[in-house]
Amino acid sequence: MAKPLFITGTDTDAGKTLIACALLKALALAGKTTCALKPVAAGCEPTEQGLTNRDALLLQACATTALPYSQVNPIALVEACAPHIAAALEGRRLQVARIEGICRGVLMQKSDVCIIEGAGGWRVPLNERERLSDLAKNLNSPVILVVGMRLGCLNHALLTAEAVLRDGLPLAGWVANVLDSDMPHLEDNINTLKPLLPAPCLGVVPFIREGTEHDKIDEAAKALDISALPVM
């Protein structure tokens, strides 16, 4: 049975997919077999396969265990907005229990690790009662926090870490993902977070300006140290 790692971020566009894919690459280099999930994706486009999401396709490509797209991204929504709003626009209602069941089916795969990428931040709503964080809680999954390094990230990172711990889940690690090569006081911000976040820093991924998506993923993987993860 695959061990889950849930990837969350300080905000939308913090770089969850880049880091999730880089983790898949780093785990494979360490000899681990992997599968990957993006259970809920908003912002999907019609293709011959049906609705597909760019981030989910990258996860699918980077995992060592081949899964059909419908398993990687079981809930594909058209509108690029909060999942519960995108679902309502299609006359659908998202439920944690259904998403959990799909995830548990994939976790039965003969893989060592399953990377599960969230949507938006930790508390993104799925309906009027449930949050996507409830999925991670129900799966009892360790969490990796992607900190998008930009103005405001200190507050976002600390609040997210507090929420994860309050939900009773271990924060397995965090990654500083540099979004702006010219961010003022970048090192000072990273050094501020290191003693305050109750988890090891798995790496600082530099701003990668050029290359294909897969080139950027390979570069990001080189910046990670996954030795402290509970799946190793």
Tell me the longest C-alpha to C-alpha distance in the chain: 48
Rounded to the nearest 5°, which phi and psi values hold at 37?
-135, 140
Distance CA 12, CA 14 (A): 6
- Nearest CA to 9 out of 218, 179, 137 is that of 179
CB burial of 15-33 (b: ≥16 within 10 Å; e: otherwise) equals bbbbbbbbbbbbbbeeebb
CB burial of 69-97 (b: ≥16 within 10 Å; e: otherwise) equals bebbbbbbbeeeebbbebbbeeeeebebe
Catalytic residue among 16, 25, 32, 38: 38
* Known active-site residue 38: yes
Distance CA 214, CA 95 (A): 33
Among all residues, which ones are annotated catalytic? Answer: 38
